[in-house]
Amino acid sequence: MNITEYMEQVGRQARAASRAMARADGATRNRALGLIADAIERDAAVLRAANQLDLDAARAAGMAPAMLDRLALSEQAIATMVAGLRQIVSLPDPIGEISNMKSRPSGIQVGQMRVPLGVIGIIYEARPNVTVDAAGLCIKSGNATILRGGSEAIHCNRALAALVKEGLAGAGLPADGVQVVDTTDRAAVGALITMPQYVDVIVPRGGKGLIARLMAEATVPMIKHLDGICHVYIDAKADLQKALDIAYNAKCHRYGTCNTMETLLVARAIAPTVLPALAKRYLTQQVELRADAEAHAILEGYPHLARATEEDWATEYLAPILAVRVVDGIDAAMEHINTWSSKHTEAIVTEDYSDALRFLREVDSASVMVNASTRFADGFEYGLGAEIGISNDKLHARGPVGLEGLTSLKYVVFGHGEVRK
Amino acid sequence: MNITEYMEQVGRQARAASRAMARADGATRNRALGLIADAIERDAAVLRAANQLDLDAARAAGMAPAMLDRLALSEQAIATMVAGLRQIVSLPDPIGEISNMKSRPSGIQVGQMRVPLGVIGIIYEARPNVTVDAAGLCIKSGNATILRGGSEAIHCNRALAALVKEGLAGAGLPADGVQVVDTTDRAAVGALITMPQYVDVIVPRGGKGLIARLMAEATVPMIKHLDGICHVYIDAKADLQKALDIAYNAKCHRYGTCNTMETLLVARAIAPTVLPALAKRYLTQQVELRADAEAHAILEGYPHLARATEEDWATEYLAPILAVRVVDGIDAAMEHINTWSSKHTEAIVTEDYSDALRFLREVDSASVMVNASTRFADGFEYGLGAEIGISNDKLHARGPVGLEGLTSLKYVVFGHGEVRK
C-alpha cells in the first residue's frame, strides 16, 4: 500500500469511528480516559523502554541536546500525562448542551446544540506526551483523532497508541477513535492536511517552521498561530510600580513562550522615569535592549544596548532581547501595534479609565489586557481547564483554545407539526 | 494600473477603513444606514435608469428571461431594499458585548468581547439588491466590505455604491468602508479570494457553479454552502397528519430553495399508509417521484413515477422531483442521511420521544428538526433578524448566518497589576 492509499484508509476509518465517538455519552468517554490513564501507569516501564529506542536512534543520528530533552519521556513526564488525563475526566462534558432555545412566532422552538467537530488531525514534533494530551482532549470532546507525531518518537508513540486503543476498546468505543499515523514518511503529513472529506480541522503543535510549512499547503482548516509578537504599552498615566512589575514579568518570566512580550512601547511623558528604573530590573537578567533613537538616548550607559531597526518591530525573539520604542501616546501605540503585532496578545498599563477602554476595544488581537502581564494569555490561566492550542485567526476559535474549540454548534428545532406558510 | 495592482489597492484601502469602521459606535453605524436608505429613496429614478442600461445591454447580449428578471430593479425591489436597511437599523448592536466574565485565582478578570471580523468580501451574481443588503449587514457589524457583483449589473451597482459612500461620509465614516469592485474583469474575483492579508472572510451569494469555482481557488476562508440535499424521515411512530403536512410543505412550498426536501425516507411499517396518501397531495403539483423498488411497488399507478438510482440520492433537484426510499427504521434512515446528505437540514416526523432525541443528537447536519418542515431553516425563521448566508461548514458559523457570523470574540483581561508567578 502506498502512502496515499494508507492515509486514505486512515481517513476513512477516522470518519467511520467519529460517528460512534459522537454518539457515546460523557460517562463512556470518561471511562475510556480513565482506562488509558490506568494502562499508562501500569506500563510505564514498557513506555520508557520504547522511548529509549527513540533516544538511542536520535543520539546516533546526532540530535541536539535540547531536542533530545524534549524527546525524553521521564518518570515525571509519565506521571504528568496520567494526571493530565484524570484532570480532563474531571472537566464538564462539553457535548450535548443546548443553548439559546427560543419560541418563534411560527410555533417552532429553535436552539443550538454543542456537538463534536468530527475528525481532528494533530501534527506535532518530538514531544511524545502530546500523543496522550491531544488524544485525551479529542476523546473528551467526542471527536475521532488522527495523530501524526515526529518520526523521532515513533517507537514511543506506537506504544502509547496501543494503550490508548486498549482504553477505547475497554469502554466499548472504536479503537479507530484514535489513530497514530504509523509511518515516518513525510508524505503522510501532506496527505493528512489535504483530506477535507475525512478531516474537519488540523491542530499543529510545534514551532514556526512546521506551521509555516503546513499553511502553504493545507486545504483542511487549521487552528494555529504562527508568531507571538506581543506588546506592552506603558501609558503616560501608568502606575509606575505596576508598569515595572508587568514589563519585567512579561519579558523575563519565560523567554521561549508565544505570550512573552517582544516589544515595549512607552509614552513620551513617562519614558524618562520608567525606562531607567526598568533597565535596572532587566540588567539582573542581562536582557539586551534594542531601542529607537529616543529610548536609546534615555537608556545611554545600559551595558546591553543596541539601536532598533524596523526589523526588530517584526521579530519574535524568544530570547532575552527586547525592542523598545518611545511613542506620543495611546494613538501612536495602537498604530504601532496594529501595524506590527501578530495579533496574539497586547497589554496596556494605565490608570486612565478612557484609555483602558479604548485599548480594549480598538486593539485587534486575540487577547487584549489592562494592567496584567501578557504571560496570562493561556488556557489554564483563562480557566478553560485545558488547552489544545492558541489561535491567531478570527474565525471559529480565537486566543487560547479549550475543549469548546473542538466542538461546533448545530441548530435544533423542536416542532409540533409546523409548516412554512 | 493592472487588475492585480487595482485589487491590492482596494484591499489596502479596505484594511485601513476597517479600523475606523470597528471603532465607530453603534449610533454612528446606524446613522450611516439611515442615510443610505434615505439616499436610495431620493434617487430611485437614478437607480432605475442605471438598471435600464444594464437591462438593455443584457437583452442585447441575449440574456435568458429568468436572469433578466433577477437583474431588474423594480420600484418594489427598491422599496424592499430601503425597508431592509431600516430593519437592520432596528436590530441590536452585535458589537462590544462582553460575555463570560470570570474572576480567576490569579486575580485577573477574563471575558470575551464581540468585535467585527475586519474586512468581508461578498461575491454575488446578477441581483443588484445584494449590494445594499450585504453592505447593510457589514456596516451594522462594524466591518469594512468589498463587494464584487455580477458584470451584468455594473451600472446599477456603481450607482448604488455612490449612495452607500454618501451615507458613510454623512455619518463621518470612511467612504472606503464599502467598496464596489469597479471592473468587470473576472481576474478581480481571483485576486479577492487570495488576499488573506486584506480580506478576513468571503461570503459568496449565488449558485452552485459560482461557489464550486471559488472553493477550488480561495485561500481566504469562506462562509458558504454548496448543496442543500435535505431529507425528511417519516418514522414508524409518526403522526400521519403531521407527516403529510410536513412532507408536502418541505417539497412543494418552494422548489428552488436550498432548504427544500430532496429525498423522503419512510419507515417500512408506515409506508403502505403514508405513501399513497402523500402521492395524492403531490399529484396536485405534478411532482415526479423517483422511488426505490419498495416504494415503487407501493406507488404503482402514480402518473409521474420513476425508479430511483443511486444518483438520485446525491441530487439537489431544485424542481418538482422527489427521491423516495423505504427504510427499516431510524438507524437505516440516519445511515442514509449521514451517507448522502449535504449536511444542510434534516427532519424526522415522529411521536416517539427516544427516536426524536436520537435523531437530534446523531444526525450531523447544520439544522436538525423534529416535526417541522425543513423550509424553516432560515435566518428570519430562526430569529436572527437578518441572514448574510447559510453555512454547511462546521467551523465558525453553521447553518443560517446572521450578524454574529460577521463577528469574532476576542479575550479581554481586566487586571490590577497582576504578574505570572
Domain extent listing, chain A: 3-223+401-413, 230-381
Residue B405 C-alpha, separation from nearest chain A C-alpha, in angstroms:
9
Contact check, Cβ <8 Å, B376/A19: no
The distance between the two most distant Cα atoms of chain A, rounded to a whole number of Å, is 81
Q: Which long-range contacts (CB under 8 A, 24 or more apart) does B26-29 make?
A: B26/B93, B26/B95, B26/B96, B28/B171, B28/B172, B28/B173, B29/B93, B29/B139, B29/B140, B29/B142, B29/B171, B29/B173
Question: Residue B217 above 80 pLDDT?
Answer: yes
State which amino acid sits at residue A284.
T
Nearest to B295 by CA among B263, B266, B269, B317: B266
The whole-angstrom separation of Cα B206 and Cα B144 is 21
Residue B216 CA from chain centroid, whole number: 19
User: What's phi and psi for A274, nearest 5 deg?
Assistant: -80, -35
* pLDDT at residue B104, rounded to an integer: 97
A216 reaches B (C-beta below 8 A)? no
What is the Cβ-side half-sphere exposure of residue B178, based on CA atoms within 13 angstroms?
32
> Is the distance from CB of A95 to CB of A142 less than 8 angstroms?
yes
* pLDDT at residue B258, rounded to an integer: 92
What is the Cβ-side half-sphere exposure of residue A104, based on CA atoms within 13 angstroms?
26
pLDDT band at B216 (very low <50, low <70, confident <90, very high): confident
β-bridge mates for residue B399, sequence order: B391
| C-alpha cell of residue A292 | 529607537
* Closest residue in chain A to residue B217, using alpha carbons only: A219
A386 reaches B (C-beta below 8 A)? no
* Closest residue in chain A to residue B393, using alpha carbons only: A200
Interior angle at CA A108, CA A102 and CA A111, nearest 5: 40
Q: Are strands B201-205 and B119-124 parallel, antiparallel or unpaired?
A: parallel
User: What's phi and psi for B184, nearest 5 deg?
Assistant: -95, 5
Contact check, Cβ <8 Å, A376/B415: yes
Share of chain B above pLDDT 70, in %: 100
Q: Containing H/E element for B11? A: helix B3-23
Q: Is the dihedral of CA A56, A57, A58, A60 positive or negative?
A: positive
> Is the distance from CB of A193 to CB of A217 less than 8 angstroms?
yes
Question: Residue B386 above 80 pLDDT?
Answer: yes
* pLDDT at residue A88, rounded to an integer: 95
State which amino acid sits at residue B327.
V
> Is the distance from CB of B136 to CB of B88 less than 8 angstroms?
yes
β-sheet with A288-291: strand ranges across: A305-307, A288-291, A321-327, A261-267, A230-234, A345-349, A367-372, B407-418, B109-116, B98-103
Instruction: Summarize the confidence of residues B234-248 as an average pLDDT.
Output: 98
CATH topology of domain A3-223+401-413: Aldehyde Dehydrogenase; Chain A, domain 1 (3.40.605)
Range 339-368 of A in CB contact (< 8 A) with B: 347, 360-362, 364-368
A420 reaches B (C-beta below 8 A)? yes
Residue B413 C-alpha, separation from nearest chain A C-alpha, in angstroms:
4
Contact check, Cβ <8 Å, A104/B365: no
Residues of chain A with pLDDT under 70: none
A399 reaches B (C-beta below 8 A)? yes
Neighbours of A119 (CB within 10 A): 29
The beta-strand segments (E) located in A268-397 are 288-291, 305-307, 321-327, 345-349, 367-372, 389-391
Residue A47 C-alpha, separation from nearest chain B C-alpha, in angstroms:
33
* pLDDT at residue B170, rounded to an integer: 98
* pLDDT at residue A386, rounded to an integer: 83
The whole-angstrom separation of Cα A56 and Cα A49 is 11
Nearest to B33 by CA among B76, B79, B90: B90
Cβ-proximal residues to B2 (8 Å cutoff; 6+ apart), any chain: none
Residue B153 C-alpha, separation from nearest chain A C-alpha, in angstroms:
31
* Closest residue in chain B to residue A349, using alpha carbons only: B417
B111-122: pLDDT as tens digits: 999 999 999 999
Instruction: Summarize the confidence of residues B302-320 as an average pLDDT.
Output: 97
Name which of A115, A253, A361 is nearest B96 (Cβ-Cβ): A361
B323-363: pLDDT as tens digits: 999 999 999 999 999 999 999 999 999 999 999 999 999 99
The whole-angstrom separation of Cα B349 and Cα B236 is 9
Residue B117 C-alpha, separation from nearest chain A C-alpha, in angstroms:
7
Contact check, Cβ <8 Å, A376/B108: yes
| Distances B393 to A401, A413, B366 between C-alpha atoms, Å | 19, 19, 8
The whole-angstrom separation of Cα A175 and Cα A326 is 58
Q: Are strands B407-418 and B109-116 parallel, antiparallel or unpaired?
A: antiparallel
* pLDDT at residue B205, rounded to an integer: 87
The whole-angstrom separation of Cα A146 and Cα A142 is 13
B290 reaches A (C-beta below 8 A)? no
Neighbours of B112 (CB within 10 A): 18
B239 SS3 class: coil
pLDDT band at B215 (very low <50, low <70, confident <90, very high): confident
A253 reaches B (C-beta below 8 A)? yes
Question: Residues of A390-413 as b/e, b for ≥16 C-beta within 10 angstroms?
Answer: bbbbbbbbbbbbbbbbbbbbbbbb
- Is A111 exposed, middle or buried, given 0-12, 13-18 or 19+ CB atoms closer than 10 A? middle
- Is B153 exposed, middle or buried, given 0-12, 13-18 or 19+ CB atoms closer than 10 A? buried
CATH of domain A230-381: 3.40.309.10
Residue B46 C-alpha, separation from nearest chain A C-alpha, in angstroms:
36
B127, B133, B135, B138 alpha-carbon torsion, rounded to 10°: -130
8-state DSSP, A222:
B
Neighbours of A100 (CB within 10 A): 11
Residue with cell 494503550: A163
| C-alpha cell of residue A396 | 471559529
| C-alpha cell of residue A27 | 460517562
pLDDT band at B159 (very low <50, low <70, confident <90, very high): very high
Name which of A347, A369, A408 is nearest B394 (Cβ-Cβ): A408
* Closest residue in chain A to residue B419, using alpha carbons only: A373
Name which of A364, A412, A416 is nearest B360 (Cβ-Cβ): A412
The whole-angstrom separation of Cα A123 and Cα A11 is 14
Share of chain B above pLDDT 90, in %: 87
B179-208: pLDDT as tens digits: 999 988 989 999 999 999 999 999 998 788
The whole-angstrom separation of Cα B96 and Cα B113 is 6
Chain B residue numbers touching A419 (CB-CB < 8 A): 245-246, 248-250, 253, 372-373, 375
